[in-house]
Amino acid sequence: MVTCVKWRRLAGGALTGAVVLSLLTGPAQAAPAAPAPDMTGLRGALKTAQRQGAPGAMARIDDHGTVRQAAVGVADRKTRRALSTADRFRIGSVTKVFSAVVLLQLADERKLRLDAPVNQYLPKLLPDNRITVRHVLSHRSGLYDYSNDMFARSVSGFEAVRTKVFTYRQLVARSLRHARTTKPGGPYRYSNTNFVVAGMLIEKLTGHPVAAEYQKRIIKPLKLADTAYVHPGTALPGRHTRGYLTPDKAGAPLVDATRQTVSWAQSAGAMISSAKDLDTFLSALMRGKLMSAAQLGQMQRWVPAGTSQAYGLGLRRRTLSCGVSVYGHTGAVQGYYSYAFTTKDGRRSLAALANVSNSGRVHTTMLRTLESTFCGRSALSRVSPAPVTERYDDLAPEIPLD
């Protein structure tokens, strides 16, 4: 039996206490610690991705100050240089989280209202004044994803745009040739068009290119030394891994897709980074270092987005086999599959990469790195050794993968 006294202050400053008796069955119990990452399982996923056609695969875990890393295969099929977790790479749709952060910072600065029509800031851009900024950031605008048309054939579609430079308005115009996929505010329907519009909003409201805003608001404050928006340049600066596109025809050689403008994506997917920088970025985001608590709450207003997934404002939530939810984004751009997720408190973060794209088998295998990282060895008993292949990704989301 333990006796406790609860004090309260009366008028005039006197203290009085009430005796509370409580029966304890033992010492106070701390919350159970998260299981340690399963590095054997993680390495197994990377090796499987390599067997399935990725020249290389790697992952970095930042966990309460401890760093764990693994890499297999090569960064360059010609030189045979080993892939390293220090390499830079194209992050594809993880770019969307950066774009959403900038817009939510602008909301903090009262330069933007999430529930205002996009056309209020970009007059006559969209055919429906009911489409709001929130709808765009949560993929509920109904704007068709033009990348479905571009990449219905992955290699020929890519070669047709590899060196092209588009304006934002040209990309939006490609979307508007099609009927909308849902009414404004309807169900989640992933579309790169939404984050092209996000880039336009950033540039209109700040008067600066998106590259300058990413740099000022995120890259510089967090000291992300390997992160940049390189559009419309085609080269990745510094030490980087080359990226390879799986061809449409089975058995055909991989296509080196490293050099490209990524102009078809821009603010929806044209950034480069490293595993360390992505872990730093997502940890800072979830720990509230990039926006107010109110806006971070807005970012986490979830809508259903597929099995065990939800989408907020530029942010995915995936619920794993052990019940843990993780927050971040997947990324697909020709030659690269990237995965960047963290825990609710931002204390354990994973960034993973396979330097190949257009492979449903590799994409599904790389998602197992989340299970090994956040569920530990317990994931072995829950995850099927032959999971159902995820046949769609963030690039041309309505075109099935192999």
How many residues appear in the chain? 402
Q: What is the 3-state secondary structure of the chain?
A: CEEEEEEEECHHHCEEEEEEEECCCCCCCCCCCCCCCCHHHHHHHHHHHHHCCCCEEEEEEEECCEEEEEEEEECCCCCCCECCCCCEEECHHHHHHHHHHHHHHHHHCCCCCCCCEHHHHCCCCCCCCCCEHHHHHCCCCCCCCCHHHHCCCHHHHHHHHCCCCCCHHHHHHHHHCCCCCCCCCCCCCCCHHHHHHHHHHHHHHHCCCHHHHHHHHHHHHHCCCCCEECCCCCCCCCCECCCEECCCCCCCCCEECCCCCCCCCHHHCCEEEEHHHHHHHHHHHHCCCCCCHHHHHHHCCCEECCCCEEECCCCEEEECCCCCEEEEEEEEECCEEEEEEECCCCCEEEEEEECEECCHHHHHHHHHHHHHHHHHHHHHHCCCCCCCCCCCCCCCCCCCCC
Are 106 and 207 contacting, i.e. CB atoms less than 8 angstroms apart?
no
Q: Which of 22, 84, 93, 283 is catalytic?
A: 93
User: How far is Cα of residue 36 from the mean position of the Cα atoms in its chain?
Assistant: 23
Answer yes or no: 93 catalytic.
yes
| Buried/exposed 154-177: b ≥16 CB within 10 Å, e otherwise | bbebbeebbeeebebeebbebbbe
- Active-site positions read 93
